[in-house]
Amino acid sequence: MQLYQAYRQRVSLANHAEIVLEFDDEQVRFTIPGKTEVKYSWSAFTSFAESKRTATLLVGRAAFHTVPKTAMSEESWAELRRLVGSNLKEN
């Protein structure tokens, strides 16, 4: 039930707006231009899951961010995977 509530809150906040994902060696940022910005250090992420169409970064037990594979180039996905591999204990 907590995952469903987190999902509904995120969808409500985005309201079909573009969400911008940026990442580097220090942090991951999710921005809805003109509305909000959420920053996480890599240590905040507890898990990473990837399917054919999406990748999901889990934060704690009930928060997550899902990114469609169409959102980035293959080079950007490779860099994200590298950073996940370097920063998450279990992925």
Per the CB < 8 A criterion, the answer to whether 45 and 87 are in contact is yes
Domain containing residue 75: CATH number? 2.30.29.30
Task: Say if pTM beats, i.e. exceeds, 0.95.
Answer: no
What are the tens digits of pLDDT across the range 28-75?
Answer: 998 888 888 889 999 999 999 999 999 999 998 778 888 888 989 999
Tokens 């990748």 identify what position? Answer: 55
Integer Cα distance of 33 and 57 in angstroms = 21
Higher per-residue confidence, 73 vs 5: 73
Domain count, the chain: 1
Contact 38, 30 (CB under 8 A): yes
Please give the pLDDT value at position 12: 46
Domain limits for position 63? 2-87
91: pLDDT strictly greater than 50: no
Residue 71: per-residue pLDDT = 87
33 versus 87: the higher-pLDDT residue is 87
Q: Are 58 and 47 in contact (CB under 8 A)?
A: yes
